[in-house]
Chain A
Amino acid sequence: MIEYDRFVLDNGLRVLVHQDHSTPMAVVNIMYDVGARDENPEKTGFAHLFEHLMFGGSIHIPDYDEPLQRAGGENNAYTTNDLTNYYCQLPAENIETAFWLESDRMLSLAFGEKSLSVQKKVVCEEFKEHYLNKPYGDVWHKMRELAYKVHPYRWMTIGKELSHVENANIDDVKAFFWKHYRPVNAILVVAGAVKPDNIKRLAEKWFGDIPMGEKYHRHLPAEPKQTEARRSEVYAKVPVDAFIKTWHMDARLEKGYYVADLITEILGGGASSRLYESLVKEKQLFSALDVHHWGSTDKGLLAIEGRLVNGITLEAAEQAVEEELAKIQAITVNENELQKVKNKTESMIAFEDMSVMNRAASLATYELLGDAQLMNTELGKYQEITVADIQQYCKEIFRSSNSNTLFYHAQK
């Protein structure tokens, strides 16, 4: 049970305080309700580029990192297709430094041209390092475009192409900031060796006078239900063929999400999972195999991807995958197998919650989803799932018409 206090400032900033006095540290986590899905399709990668700019100086403070490091702190940030999160950890005695820094960059950035021009280059190098200069680096670019025609999940957080990042200008930066980085669109979580009274005082002092801004209401085009199987083939200079297939699944708070999470574990979580045992060990079709899903807020994808053993055809690999999927639809999984993946889930949650930083980020994420209390009811939702739920949901999602298949050929 994760306990916390919650209050809302007059400007709409939601504040959550989670105490843990076993650590001398404090974590300050600010989540903004904006991600790559909120981008203009012609200017993708912007939310993430913007995250870099948040470290390029704010209205009263030329450099974010330096004063934090001086106070014994460390920080980082990440952007996803759904949200942007900033967090820092520092000795609890110095927590006011984090309030000073975070509130100033919420009040206003400095909007320096130099920061923009340098960070565009840095992000382009990040793009190259992770997605261009790597074998199979573009797999998910291609898969997203195949599986989504309308919804902005059709591009990666890093952006559709380098030119989108290269073309970003300072007016875009300003508009994005004033639209999304307002108190009413943010959540502040403070965790660790802290007292709620003091945090409330500090929150009022540092964030209280920042103008509320306008609440951002998201009107994203819903992805129409897919009605026929989609396939695509790619040829690239890679050593071996790769197979990837995805299926649309429920959104984060829908029941199907939890079922899909367990299905993912049954099929591919660990060396005792079905696909690993059958396709890697028994039939030796794949040399590496991974089953996962996005965990995204809107309806996302469940994926099976792997690299083929030399001499195996993509068709044979696909057929073997389909046989396993037919089996899990035809024959109810046994109770023991379901219990195993529930136990794994329980354990995963316990290990995740060991770190104060993770707890702070989870609280912010659930608050953004609608209610921080979800963090404490999550495990219960998994426990309720039955073998019949698993079977029924497998039948629902693993239809051919709901699938997207990518054959990634090694160019000889």
Chain B
Amino acid sequence: MPDRKNAPQIIDAVDMHLELKPYESYTLDNGVEVYAFNGGEEEVLMVELVFFAGNWYEKKNIVAATTNFMLKNGTKKKNAFALNEHFEFYGAYLNRHCYNETATITLHCLSKHLSELLPVTAEIITDSVFPEQELLIYKQNQKQRLEINLKKCDFIANRLIDEYIYGFHHPYGRYTSTLDYEELQREELDAFYKQYYTNGKCIIFTAGKLPADIIPQLNKAFGHLPFQQNSLSDKQFNPAPAELLKYNILNDPEGVQGAIRIAQPFPNRHHPDFSRMQVLNNIFGGYFGSRLMSNIREDKGYTYGIHSHLQNHIHTSALVVSTEAGRDVCEATIAEVYKEMAILRTEPVEEEELALVRNYMIGSLIGDLDGPFHIIARWKNYILNGVTDEYFYNSIDTVKNISAEELRELARKYLNPEQFYELLVV
């Protein structure tokens, strides 16, 4: 019979070797930078084109997201069906996403089909036509989707909390109404597309089992497109946080749960407190064993889950606590969140818990660096945020060495209820 009472010996994850494997970088003929990571066992790869075409750059609400969405809805040579058919025939996934600063086109495919897929990806960047009919269908369906989402308390809460933190005029705080869809014009998409995609700034990330001629292939497809790598205006927005801190919104009189958001602005990752705050956030509400989860889910059963996180924005960030809790225990949940803040402000985290969190964070970092797609995703995040692998090693250093006293100082600085926006949507 093994000794079941005592845990087996472990090697502390903090003592394990951690390395962020380097990328290789290239420049295509037109100046486009390519960051590549070759690796993996399966014969698959991804190519991601990042454009500076997020809603940061739009003049009118929803133009950036719609332009991005409609990239697959028709070029001069292929209609929407033919475009989709081409990628799907090769079992490839061509996804596009619009974020705040950037918008992406991402190809995932079996490595053997790459050469069939790159030319059509390039066609999308230069020859998209945004057919009127496709736009009409898109507007109609998106409006309907929005109407359904507006019935959900969590959807409403996510929109409003961002508005309180950043202000509606700020790209991070803005959201969409059905009227925005109605007012969209084809010409606006076309103009945005030409400026920010066809003649915009592009960076390419690629990872997976890369063919030996990956760079010549990328150069052939994208190296002669008319990108303007220095075309970006330095557009700045200043957040205008709301004056009132506390909000109660009634969305569904018959709902059985409420959505709670408790948030405050926080600097971006260039601020020295950012990676320190990652540690405090983990203890507070960042993982399954966090204070919020242990108390509010595992002890009281008020919710299926409660989390806190630092938003992953480039310009400026926010610390957000979010949960959906039983309607009759929402107020009690909010009170417990503040109680946990108070404990972190007054009592130093005990060494046992701190050691656990250090190991957990390093362990999940090791897990997160598993495989070529994860590695390039981390590099992409660093490159777009203007940090280097120094940030990676410094963060690890912070996780390993931050003291209980420093964490308490941090909690005193950032976990004060009077600094938080508090929102309850029921």
Contact = CB atoms under 8 A, between A and B. Distances in A.
B234 interface: no
B311 interface: no
A20 B140 CA distance: 48
Contact of A134 (B7, B137, B147, B152): B152
A124 B72 CA distance: 41
Given A122-B303, A239-B144, A354 B137 contact: no
A304 interface: no
Contacts of B91: 343-348
A91 interface: yes
B11 A125 contact: no
Interface string B318-350: 000000111000000000000000000000000
B88 interface: yes
Given A71-B359, A133-B256, A272-B81, A20 B41 contact: yes
Contacts of B40: 22, 354
Contacts of A128: 256-257, 326
Given A134-B152, A287-B140, A351 B301 contact: no
B288 A65 contact: yes
B167 interface: no
Contact of A277 (B81, B367, B370): B81
Interface in B112-167: 137, 140-141, 144-145, 147-148, 151-153
A97 to B, nearest CB: 6
Nearest to A342: B91
Contact of B301 (A20, A118, A340): A118
Interface string A334-354: 001001100111111011011
B356 A66 contact: yes
Interface in B346-382: 355-357, 359-360, 362-364, 366-367, 370-371, 373
Contacts, number: 217
A118 B295 CA distance: 11
Interface residues of B, number: 74
B367 A89 contact: yes
B301 A121 contact: yes
Contacts of B301: 117-122, 125
Interface string B3-22: 01101111111001000000
B88 A25 contact: no
Interface residues of A, number: 81
Interface of B: 1-2, 4-5, 7-13, 16, 39-44, 72, 80-81, 84-85, 88-93, 108-110, 137, 140-141, 144-145, 147-148, 151-153, 252, 254-257, 287-289, 297-304, 324-326, 355-357, 359-360, 362-364, 366-367, 370-371, 373
Give the 7 A-B CB pairs with smallest separation, nearest first: A72-B363, A121-B301, A347-B91, A72-B13, A343-B91, A272-B84, A271-B84
Given A120-B301, A121-B301, A121-B326, 13 more contacts: A66-B356, A69-B360, A70-B356, A73-B363, A74-B367, A90-B363, A96-B8, A107-B4, A126-B304, A239-B144, A281-B137, A287-B144, A348-B91
